């Protein structure tokens, strides 16, 4: 983003679409990662406290009647993002002119969605860390 900041919101595909889309994606990714870390820490902390209290009081740790499987807004948000990401990828593959990329099999696409998108938050954290430390380069 720093390398091409002069093109931001200007004419052309890079400034009018790609850079703003990347910024929105980057900020949404950081927000989602922050919400995930918060909810994970909250869940771990509450589970630790309830386990400690149940063990101290000598009561049941878990009852099946307490199981709550109601979807939340975050479930809907995650599923929506996954579906939109898949549609965006398939749309992109359908309009490219290279037959080799267009005719990739479903296994490769599933691998992309499962592995790359799972590792992407780590790449995002690493890039933000390097940016803050000032140790970034423009590629090799």
pLDDT at 19 (0 to 100): 82
Alpha-carbon distance of 40 to 99, in angstroms, equals 43
pLDDT tens-digit readout, 74-94: 778 878 877 887 787 777 766
pLDDT at 61 (0 to 100): 67
Average pLDDT, the chain: 77
pLDDT at 80 (0 to 100): 86
| pLDDT of 47 above 70 | yes
State pTM to two decimals: 0.55
Question: Domain locations in the chain?
Answer: 1-65
pLDDT at 138 (0 to 100): 63
Task: Please check whether residue 32 is in contact with residue 40, taking contact to mean a CB–CB distance below 8 angstroms.
Answer: no
Task: Please check whether residue 19 is in contact with residue 8, taking contact to mean a CB–CB distance below 8 angstroms.
Answer: yes
């Amino acid at each position: 983003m720093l390398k091409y900041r002069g093109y931001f919101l200007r004419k052309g595909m890079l400034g009018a679409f790609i850079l703003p889309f990347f910024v929105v994606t980057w900020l949404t990714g950081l927000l989602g990662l922050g919400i995930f870390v918060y909810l994970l820490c909250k869940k771990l902390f509450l589970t630790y406290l309830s386990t400690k209290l149940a063990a101290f009081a000598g009561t049941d740790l878990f009852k099946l009647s307490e199981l709550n499987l109601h979807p939340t807004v975050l479930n809907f948000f995650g599923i929506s993002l996954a579906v939109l990401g898949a549609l965006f990828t398939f749309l992109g593959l359908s309009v490219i002119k290279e037959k080799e990329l267009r005719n990739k099999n479903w296994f490769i696409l599933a691998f992309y969605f499962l592995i790359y998108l799972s590792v992407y938050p780590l790449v995002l954290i690493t890039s933000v860390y390097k940016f803050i430390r000032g140790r970034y380069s423009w590629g090799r």
